[in-house]
Each structure stands twice: as C-alpha cells, then as structure tokens.
Amino acid sequence: VSGVDEAAPRRRLSRDDVAAEALRILDEDGLPDLTMRRLAAALDVQPSALYWHFASKQDIIAELSDRILARTPAPHAGEDWAESLHARALALRDALLAYRDGAEVVASTLALGLGTVRPRDAFARAIEDAGFAPDTAVRAATALMHFVLGHVSHEQERMQYESLGVRADAGDDDSAPDFRFGVDLFIAGLAALRPAGRD
Amino acid sequence: VSGVDEAAPRRRLSRDDVAAEALRILDEDGLPDLTMRRLAAALDVQPSALYWHFASKQDIIAELSDRILARTPAPHAGEDWAESLHARALALRDALLAYRDGAEVVASTLALGLGTVRPRDAFARAIEDAGFAPDTAVRAATALMHFVLGHVSHEQERMQYESLGVRADAGDDDSAPDFRFGVDLFIAGLAALRPAGRD
DNA sequence: ACCTGAACACCGTTCAAGT
DNA sequence: ACCTGAACACCGTTCAAGT
C-alpha cells in the first residue's frame, strides 16, 4: 500500500486558508451556500476547527468584505471633486460586482459595525473637497454608500434569481446607466447645496 | 370533566390569522425570530399547516411587506413636487420604522420582485411632476428607494444590536436629520438636472 | 497550538395520511 | 378543505478530549 497516494495529510490550516476558501465558495456558489459545514468540508476539516481561526461566521464574512473592498483603486491626483467622486462610486460598484453577492456581504458587515469603512471615508474626502464640513461630508458619504450598496445588492439579487429562472427575465440587463444616473443625481445635489464661495 | 375548559379547539386558521401573527412576532421579536416553527407554535398548529395558507416563508414576508407599506398616506393635493417628494420619503421612513426590521422585510421582498411597488411609483409620479420623462422618473425613484431602504435598514440594525449591547452605543441616536439631509440632497439633484423650461 | 467527535438546539419544506 | 405526523436534509456553535 505504498504506491497509492493515501489521504493527503495537509493539516495546519491557516486563517488565510479559511478566508481564501470562503471567498472561493462565495464567488462560485453564493452567500446562501457559504455555510460553516460546507466551508469545513472544502478544507477537509471538521466544522468546529473553523472556530479556532475565526470567532464566528460573521467574522469570516467581515474578512471577506475587507478583501472585496481591498481592490478599490487609489484616486488620481488633480481630479475635480465631482470627477473623483464619480470615479470612486463606479470603482466601488466594480469591486462589489467582482464577487458574487459582494454587495450583500459588504452591506451586512457595515451594518454590524465590522470591517473597513475606507470607501465611505474616501467618498467623504472627495465631498470635503467640494467645500462641505467634515461631519456633513460623512453624512453625504453615508447616503451615497446606501445608494451604491442598495443598487448593487438589487443588481446581484436579480442576477441570482434570473440564473435560477425564478424571476421573469426582462431581457434588458445593463444597469450601469441607471447606476451612473443615480450617482450624477447625487453629485448634482452636492453641487447645488455646497457652501457658497467655493469653486 | 365538564366544568374545566379543556384545550380550546380554535381551528380553522385563516390566511389573515397567519399574516397577523407573523406581523406580531416580527414586531415583538424581530425577523431572525420569525421562523415557521415559532409562528406555527404561536398559532397552536403544526409547521406544515402554514403551507396550506402560504406557499413559502418568503410569501409570508411579502405579505408583511405589503402590510407595512399599506400605512403610507395619500398625498396632499396642490403640493409642490419637491414638497411632495420630501413628504413621501419621510412618510415611507415612518412606515418602515413602525415595525421592527420593517426596512429589511420590504427590501428583501422588493429584491425578489414580490410585493407592492406603490411607494416607488408614488415617488416616480412626484418626479414626473418635476418635468422628467416617465422612464427617467422611475430610475430616479428607484435610486431614492435604495437610499431610503438602505438608510432605515441601517438604522434598524443598529437599534437591534444596541439593544443587545453588542455595538458600542454612541449615545447620539436621532438619525432623522441625516435622513432629511439625504433626501434634500436628492431633491436638489433633481432640481438641478431637470429639463429646462419647467417650473 | 490546533483539531476531532459528539452533541445541543435549532432550521424550511414535503407529503402521505387523517378528519 | 384543512391539518397532523413524521420525516428529509440541513443549520451555527460549544466543548471536552485528543495529538
């Protein structure tokens, strides 16, 4: 029995292994299929083993949220605040769309006060550049985050149910123009309400 | 054994009974506690009995969504489009806040393409009054819905976790001004972008 | 330090059978 | 027509015990 490759040992699971496998399952099968039991099976380990590396499933999801958001690019210098905000909003949408159910993962993590708030702060900085006070900028940035997460969640849930054939597939599918319209509306609002004497 | 009141019969459960009890559990214990088994127990019935009245749990939740949204009032006649939109957005927030986890119930129902779209259509009508074309108005109305649902979901999830002592309670709790700011921003955007020649 | 084994306390849904 | 009983195929989490 020496020539046959008997069950690979492959122990010493790392925290990073767990997160990477979870991200793979998320992207390939979606958030509802990302269960502790399925994750453990994919890693060839008992479910309880995961709790040595992460305190809870929600903590794993928070880690996924951070990884999804890590891909949002640094801003170009010298951009107009409106251009910058527009570009950041589109980049955030792209990052969320890059993983299946990305928006829901990030939204639920944000709601629990876990994970990074980098994208919101990036929005806020661009809005400060328009002349708004820091606390107002954070408020506006939060509103924009709600729009982005709501829009992309909706997009991704629709994709999910269309692929299952549940919803009537309306055919028309490119929601990028709708998204841009929403962002432009938001920016036009900021331009209209911003403190006078700024340019 | 005739004087003692033996286990009340109370059969013939109606669809309305199921929805009403579900709404009670939702409001008192929250969406995570609204399970088919708990609902059945509260109605003194087996879980499988619920499936005679509703095809699925999601269908029950869609019914709750409609009931939550039923309380949004008819608009005053003769209002300015901006005033009307503002009033409707605040009324929607109030309706969502009237039941625990109301925003999440409505958001998930909307995402599945179930339940009423009355609030969105009401938004769209006010936006048409500003001079926008019907399809543009629906786009903008959808964006506003995303903001409202996102904002109120966030508010309610925060309440939930604060009451459990999970999140650090920051003390400052009235998010109505933040909400109004977001709505005003949105309306200012519409005012800036609306077709010329309208007043 | 890292993981197994076994249990605890649950889920939504289906379906034959009863009344 | 309306509901029970029993099952199917799952959940997240804990914790003593092993190595």
The model carries a pTM of: 0.90
Mean pLDDT of B83-91: 97
Q: Could you give the CA distance from residue B101 to residue B99 in angstroms, rounded to a whole number?
A: 6
How far is the first Cα of chain B from the last one, in angstroms, to the nearest whole number? 78
Q: Cβ separation of A140 and B181 shorter than 8 Å?
A: yes
Q: Which nucleotide is nearest to A57 (CA to C1')?
A: D12
Instruction: Kindly state the tokens that stand for B189.
Output: 């955007």
The label of the residue with tokens 């820091």 reads A134
B167 CA, D19 C1': Å apart: 38
Res. B6: pLDDT tops 60: no
User: How far is the C-alpha of B154 from the C-alpha of B101, rounded, in Å?
Assistant: 10
> Does the pLDDT at position B163 exceed 80?
no
Least confident of A2-16, A34-48, B37-51, B89-103: A2-16
List, run by run, the mean pLDDT of 10-residue segments along chain A (199 residues). Answer: 41 93 98 98 98 98 98 83 97 98 96 94 97 97 96 88 58 81 97 81
> pLDDT tens digit string along B64-74?
999 999 988 87
Closest C-alpha among A118, A119, A117 to residue A85: A119
Q: How much is the pLDDT for B172?
A: 57
- Show residues, CB within 7 A, near nucleic chain C: A 11-13, 44-49, 52-53; B 34-38, 47-48, 51, 56-58
Of residues B60 and A172, the one with the higher pLDDT is B60
What pLDDT, on a 0 to 100 scale, did the predictor assign at position B8?
Answer: 46
User: Is A103:A149 a contact under the CB 8 Å cutoff?
Assistant: yes
Percentage of chain B surpassing pLDDT 90? 76
B15-24 long-range contacts (CB < 8 A, ≥24 apart) are B15/B53, B15/B54, B17/B43, B18/B43, B18/B50, B18/B53, B18/B54, B18/B60, B19/B60, B19/B63, B19/B64, B19/B67, B22/B60, B22/B63, B22/B64, B23/B64, B23/B67, B23/B99
- pLDDT at residue B105 is higher than 70: yes
Residue A143's pLDDT is: 96
Q: Which of A125-134, B11-20, B34-43, B154-163 has the lowest mean pLDDT?
A: B154-163
Helix A134-163, helix A118-129: angle, nearest 10 = 130
d(CA A108, CA B161): 12
Average pLDDT over residues B176-188: 96
A27 vs A96: CA distance, rounded Å: 11
Q: Which residues contact B46 (CB under 8 A, 6 or more apart)?
A: B40
Residue A173 pLDDT: 66
pLDDT given for residue B3 in this prediction: 35
pLDDT of residue B157: 85
The pLDDT confidence band at residue B197, using thresholds 50, 70 and 90, is low
Residues of A in contact with B161 (CB under 8 A): 112-113
What pLDDT was estimated at residue B165? 58
CA distance B95 to B75: 14
Residue bearing tokens 């305190």:
A55
Where does the pLDDT of residue B160 fall: very low under 50, low under 70, confident under 90, or very high at 90 and above?
confident
**Protein-proximal positions, strand D, CB < 7 A:** 2-7, 10-16
Shortest distance, CA A9 to any CA of chain B (angstroms): 39
